[in-house]
Chains A and B, each alone.
Chain A
């Protein structure tokens, strides 16, 4: 780390990928024109939630304006239209993940609900006392606590694969932990606290070679990387709409049809049944078996619009653009004296967690906020990661494909202000 000013210390390494017109893309996101504390908003909290393109906002409006009805149960015109739109959205999500069939996509509230569903419906009936569930040391709380609950319920044991100082999964330890008692692996695809991309293909391969099914938490990966569940061969894949340029309150669980079919329902209610008598209820087919009650119809439709929008730009191009911006931002932060990056994995995407010597992350956050820059500070729902790196909290800037180098420059300039203020 040098103390030289950013402009001279950070050569532009590469040009933006050809054909990626970020200024044009920014026009798709009306919120980016908001002023925060009198400054142009610099939104770098995308790992918490992403902003929504106009097409998604319009789609939600259009649904409520001209299509709103309950689905799967009406015989009237609107109900048919709403049902069709909702099922089209399911097909769009299936395409987005390259699932074999739309019925392998269960609409859920979020990644959190998807993981709880798998923990309760898939794992719980299968786990015996002494069986083991394997997760990693960089999971979000939502991929820890559901497994702790199911372990408590069944007497199974939670095993945690460690990470190294760069924030990478220690694959040899993972292999060692996979034993005769391992019954399930639940692993993050991209860490929200560190940006690490885990070697998911290898993780699945190693588990499958021992007959162990795998769930991948794709909350951060799905908006950033091309995801092909068939190529990965994972058994379950979870992501949230709101982090993938779609609405809040909607997410998707991909599950292999054969597994979903063998699982009992997660919740009971309307829509998830074929027939009900007080003696016996016949459950509906997948995915409806897992979608009790009136779902978040507009949310599902909005998510469909979001994944189509993202696919229209292309995940490869998005990943390339964000990768370039990440490299630029990494250099910019590293050039600030006293900054230490937490999470320096070789395979990494759009998340920069950092601490500034002598200044608490919370103070960094407040000062940046007054410059119009939105970042997150705290433990990022990954307290074990903070413990692993011996910090109470980090500041986290997380990127999206609408962020620019100029915004990174603004971040760096504001960081210099933080240093100035704290002398």
Chain B
């Protein structure tokens, strides 16, 4: 089960069980919905954007442990960040979970998000991990149509 433990790290199991910022955000000025038709994951991200900074963020939805924990950890790590900083985190995260960064990828800058490093061994689960991020980007860009991973 060692590779499974790499995928389902303690942090991920914890955030799946007790997701942070898991609620509707009153007063949000940006929101978007994401959907993974393959497994039925659904997420809505709420953002309060003020002066180009993510003042507050929350999410709702249902999904697998990977997508739920990813949404939870994402909200925790982008809160207070500027749009550009959040975008940079997304790119680093994306590199890590797709394995684009190679084996030597340094997840140091990702903080707790490094818990998702095991995802790269499970290619079909990459979409679960990235769905909340794509949805956040849609919200920040003010896109109207729901995000789909397909």
By a beta-carbon cutoff of 8 Å, the part of chain A in contact with chain B is 358-363, 366-367, 370, 377-379, 386, 392-393, 417, 421-423
Given contacts A362-B128, A378-B39, A393-B40, contact A370 B3 (CB under 8 A): yes
Given contacts A378-B40, A393-B39, contact A362 B64 (CB under 8 A): yes
A48 to B62, CA, bound (A): 25
B42 → chain A closest CB, angstroms: 7
A225 to B51, CA, bound (A): 66
Chain B contact-residue range equals 20 to 34
B1 interfacial by beta-carbon distance below 8 Å = yes
Give chain A residues whose Cβ lies under 8 Å from the Cβ of B1.
Answer: 370, 417, 421
Give chain B residues whose Cβ lies under 8 Å from the Cβ of A362.
Answer: 39, 41, 63-64, 66, 125, 128
A367 to B3, CA, bound (A): 10
A360 to B68, CA, bound (A): 10
Cβ-neighbour of B40 out of A363, A366, A367, A379 (below 8 A): A379
Contact status A360-B38, CB under 8 Å = no
Cβ-neighbour of B122 out of A366, A379, A393, A421 (below 8 A): A366
A359 to B41, CA, bound (A): 13
List which B96-150 residues lie within 8 A (CB) of chain A: 122, 124-125, 128
Give chain B residues whose Cβ lies under 8 Å from the Cβ of A367.
Answer: 4
User: Can you list 20 A-B contacts (CB < 8 A)?
Assistant: A360-B39, A360-B65, A361-B64, A362-B63, A362-B64, A362-B128, A363-B66, A366-B7, A367-B4, A370-B3, A370-B4, A378-B40, A386-B40, A392-B41, A392-B63, A393-B39, A393-B40, A417-B1, A421-B8, A422-B8
Contact status B42-A392, CB under 8 Å = yes
Contact status A421-B4, CB under 8 Å = yes
Contact status A423-B39, CB under 8 Å = no
B2 → chain A closest CB, angstroms: 10
A123 to B38, CA, bound (A): 32
Which 8 A-B pairs give the minimum distances between C-beta atoms? A362-B64, A360-B64, A392-B40, A362-B39, A393-B40, A363-B65, A363-B64, A392-B62
Among residues of B, the one whose C-beta sits closest to the C-beta of A358 is B17
B13 interfacial by beta-carbon distance below 8 Å = yes
List which B4-62 residues lie within 8 A (CB) of chain A: 4-5, 7-8, 13, 17, 38-42, 62
B40 → chain A closest CB, angstroms: 4
* Chain B CB within 10 A, most for which of A360, A370, A377, A422: A360
Contact status B65-A359, CB under 8 Å = yes
Contact status B65-A422, CB under 8 Å = yes
Contact status A366-B125, CB under 8 Å = yes
B71 → chain A closest CB, angstroms: 13
B16 → chain A closest CB, angstroms: 8
A190 to B38, CA, bound (A): 23
Cβ-neighbour of A361 out of B3, B39, B42, B124 (below 8 A): B39
Give chain A residues whose Cβ lies under 8 Å from the Cβ of B39.
Answer: 360-362, 377-378, 393
Give chain B residues whose Cβ lies under 8 Å from the Cβ of A379.
Answer: 40
B76 → chain A closest CB, angstroms: 21
Contact status A423-B7, CB under 8 Å = no
Among residues of A, the one whose C-beta sits closest to the C-beta of B7 is A366
A241 to B42, CA, bound (A): 34
A370 to B124, CA, bound (A): 13
B137 → chain A closest CB, angstroms: 23
A193 → chain B closest CB, angstroms: 13
Among residues of B, the one whose C-beta sits closest to the C-beta of A362 is B64
Give chain A residues whose Cβ lies under 8 Å from the Cβ of B5.
Answer: 421
A335 → chain B closest CB, angstroms: 22
Among residues of A, the one whose C-beta sits closest to the C-beta of B124 is A366
A90 to B18, CA, bound (A): 58
B94 → chain A closest CB, angstroms: 20
Give chain B residues whose Cβ lies under 8 Å from the Cβ of A421.
Answer: 1, 4-5, 8, 13
B141 → chain A closest CB, angstroms: 27
Give chain B residues whose Cβ lies under 8 Å from the Cβ of A359.
Answer: 65
B17 → chain A closest CB, angstroms: 8
A378 to B124, CA, bound (A): 13
Contact status B40-A422, CB under 8 Å = no
Given A377-B39, A421-B13; 19 other pairs, CB 8 A cutoff: A360-B63, A360-B65, A361-B39, A361-B64, A362-B39, A362-B41, A362-B66, A362-B125, A363-B65, A366-B4, A366-B7, A366-B125, A367-B4, A386-B40, A392-B63, A393-B40, A417-B1, A421-B5, A422-B65
Give chain A residues whose Cβ lies under 8 Å from the Cβ of B125.
Answer: 362, 366
Give chain A residues whose Cβ lies under 8 Å from the Cβ of B41.
Answer: 362, 392
A361 to B3, CA, bound (A): 19
Give chain B residues whose Cβ lies under 8 Å from the Cβ of A378.
Answer: 38-40
Give chain A residues whose Cβ lies under 8 Å from the Cβ of B124.
Answer: 366
Give chain B residues whose Cβ lies under 8 Å from the Cβ of A366.
Answer: 4, 7, 122, 124-125
A38 → chain B closest CB, angstroms: 11
Contact status A422-B62, CB under 8 Å = no
A367 to B42, CA, bound (A): 21
Cβ-neighbour of B13 out of A377, A392, A423 (below 8 A): A423
